[in-house]
Amino acid sequence: QVQLVESGGGLVQPGGSLRLSCSAAGFTFDSKSYGWFRQVPGKERVGVSCIRGSDDTTYYLDSVKGRFTISRDNAKNTVYLQMSNLKPEDTAVYYCAVDLGRNQDMCVNGQFVLNGMDWWGRGTLVTVSA
């Protein structure tokens, strides 16, 4: 069974850092595209970053460029999102997603295509507040 489990969220002051982790199981981790999206209650999902499975090309939401870094560790079946210089507007539940090839491509042409997500986890809450 496909499983994605996020961790690493919490309360952090503006300007602080957090590293989110996404542990994957139930499928072959290598060569898949992964992404992180976030959602504030009552608002739309927003694609934050993705990493393409074929060549590790990355995409970032404009507002997080230079502050967030997505990476993957194939040996640990884990995807990371390193977040620094956090701002109150980064507050949201962050979800990890995977493209299993069932639908359209998720991370392609410099975009994070939300309709390409085949599975996602339950999320981890990030709160940026003084």
Calculate the alpha carbon distances from 15 to 11, 23, 93, 100, 116 in Å: 12, 26, 18, 35, 32
Reading the chain (130 residues) residue by residue, the pLDDT tens digits are 999 999 999 999 999 999 999 999 999 999 999 999 999 999 999 999 999 998 999 999 999 999 999 999 999 999 999 999 999 999 999 999 999 999 899 999 888 999 999 999 999 999 999 9
Side-chain half-sphere exposure of 59, counting CA atoms within 13 A: 23
- Give the position of tokens 């694609």: 47
What is the structure's pLDDT at 98?
97
What is the structure's pLDDT at 109?
86
- Rounded to whole angstroms, the Cα distance separating 115 from 113 reads 5
- Rounded to whole angstroms, the Cα distance separating 84 from 51 reads 18
- Kind and range of the H or E run holding 119: strand 119-120
Tokens of 13: 């002051």
> Are the C-beta atoms of 51 and 99 separated by less than 8 Å?
no
What is the structure's pLDDT at 110?
84
Tokens of 105: 């491509």
Tokens of 31: 């060569």
List, for residues 50-62, the tens digit of each pLDDT value.
Answer: 999 989 999 999 9
**Cα torsion at 111, 124, 83, 20 (round to 10°)?**
-100
> Are the C-beta atoms of 70 and 80 separated by less than 8 Å?
yes
